[in-house]
Chains A and B, each alone.
Chain A
């Protein structure tokens, strides 16, 4: 059963909100260092899907294995699972009462219990990496959207996760700021991070993604390389959707 290559395995995942059946049995595997883009029309369950994978939403039924471990088992500490999975949100969700560097240091210090000095060093290195070393002491409200999102990525990376989830990371950004965020994500992909990205940034997906999952109404209707999905798809819904967003 244990497969070192497989980072995430999902089997027959269902999610219901009261009467609304959002996910109707999703099964897939994500290998180490793989970059998986999740596309689909709105309301198809893309966000719900990745939010189930770190249990921000409790799945209604199904199985989820992260690094071969069943994370829905009753003895699992969900907070430990989440330390392994970084998450970046559409609306950034930086903590407004903390500066950039404090945002980044908070979780490593209070969850991983590393020293303040080490946390500061790690945070500065990450800020350097996302190109915001000079904004260490700025509060989120003093940063542009693109800068906030880059700090949010640094904050997630500070926990040294094995996996990164991106939930529409560029949807709330002005067009001229999308590039700077995608650049950071591209670098992460090159460095071998396992990533699941809900996004419709075609350029980024073509270049960086290994696979696309195409979701419609809570089901994966297509699963293939960007080249296959964009150029050779035979599926009616996929063609229709791509026709609309290009």
Chain B
């Protein structure tokens, strides 16, 4: 009885397309086998896994590693089966994560109490949240102004490139290549620390905005260029044959058509720029990361840094999701 049940997905009669060997994967993926192996795994965890000091080291590691291999094999067996429902796969995947975390928690010997006191000591933030809030305000302000700046720089470069003057293109290309190759932090340090020696000084906020606008302007220009190049050359010819000047052709025909193509990569670039405002803490702009570092020093505890990380997550994850949604929407519209 039981054996028939276990083999329920394997056909009774042989035909010319039937497997010549039993097929381990088919056999292993039968619901009864999966359930059985799950029960065995749980039993293993309860009865065979050693407590921390009980077994000699060799058996200790062998036992744990064998358990991990079994858990991975069990999860892989289910995730690789495209006939299993997604909800089951999600549950199994989550269980794998929980199991690994649990193993780590049990056997790593980490000093959890200390870790908690050190990195998650929320008491250090009492009365200090408003400082982080101020930092966030500065971060968002920096991102907004630099965003506008880099869009303007990018648009200018892309429009100038449509003039197709080889000389001009050489310099524009050099600009874009240079700024795409230099790390943002280097540009910022150069503007803030080196330029004053040449008699040009910017404040920390101004140099951040300048650096981000110039750097991300180079990226934005590439987005615009891709959009402009996506417009069919026939459009250009039609516009020119109607007597539209170069500039009218660009602003009335080319740019309106390239906007839907430009928006997704451009917003992606701007989100990356928002993240890069953290670099401004190097030139002491009072943005979120800088504020968190100040608190880290004054409280002699890194919890504020963790809080800053959480704030970055809270701002950026929804933004990234929104960009994704926008992308899908535009894609759908373009495909009709």
Tell me the A residues contacting B by CB distance below 8 Å: 54, 56, 79-83, 85-87, 89, 91, 93-97, 106-107, 110-111, 141, 152, 155-156, 159
Contacts and interface: CB of A to CB of B under 8 A. Distances in A.
A192 B239 CA distance: 25
B242 interface: yes
17 contacts: A56-B240, A56-B241, A79-B243, A79-B244, A83-B243, A86-B241, A91-B234, A93-B235, A93-B238, A95-B238, A106-B242, A106-B252, A107-B244, A110-B248, A111-B243, A111-B248, A155-B242
Contacts of B237: 56, 89, 93
Contacts of B257: 95-97
Given A95-B253, A106-B252, A82 B235 contact: no
B195 to A, nearest CB: 43
Nearest to A87: B241
Q: Is the interface of B mostly helix, strand, loop or mixed?
A: helix
Interface string B266-298: 000000000000000000000000000000000
Given A56-B240, A159-B243, 10 more contacts: A81-B243, A82-B243, A87-B238, A91-B234, A93-B238, A95-B239, A97-B256, A106-B252, A141-B336, A156-B241
A79 B235 contact: no
B245 interface: yes
Interface of B: 232, 234-235, 237-245, 248, 252-253, 256-257, 336
B243 A80 contact: yes
B180 to A, nearest CB: 30
Contacts of B256: 97
A232 B72 CA distance: 86
A41 to B, nearest CB: 23
B248 A89 contact: no
A47 to B, nearest CB: 11
A47 B238 CA distance: 14
A136 B275 CA distance: 47
B13 to A, nearest CB: 54
A126 to B, nearest CB: 14
B234 to A, nearest CB: 4
Contacts of A110: 244, 248, 252
Nearest to A84: B243
Ordered nearest first, which 8 A-B pairs have the shortest CB separation? A93-B238, A83-B243, A87-B241, A107-B242, A93-B234, A82-B243, A79-B243, A111-B243
A89 to B, nearest CB: 6
B249 to A, nearest CB: 10
Contact of A111 (B235, B238, B242): B242
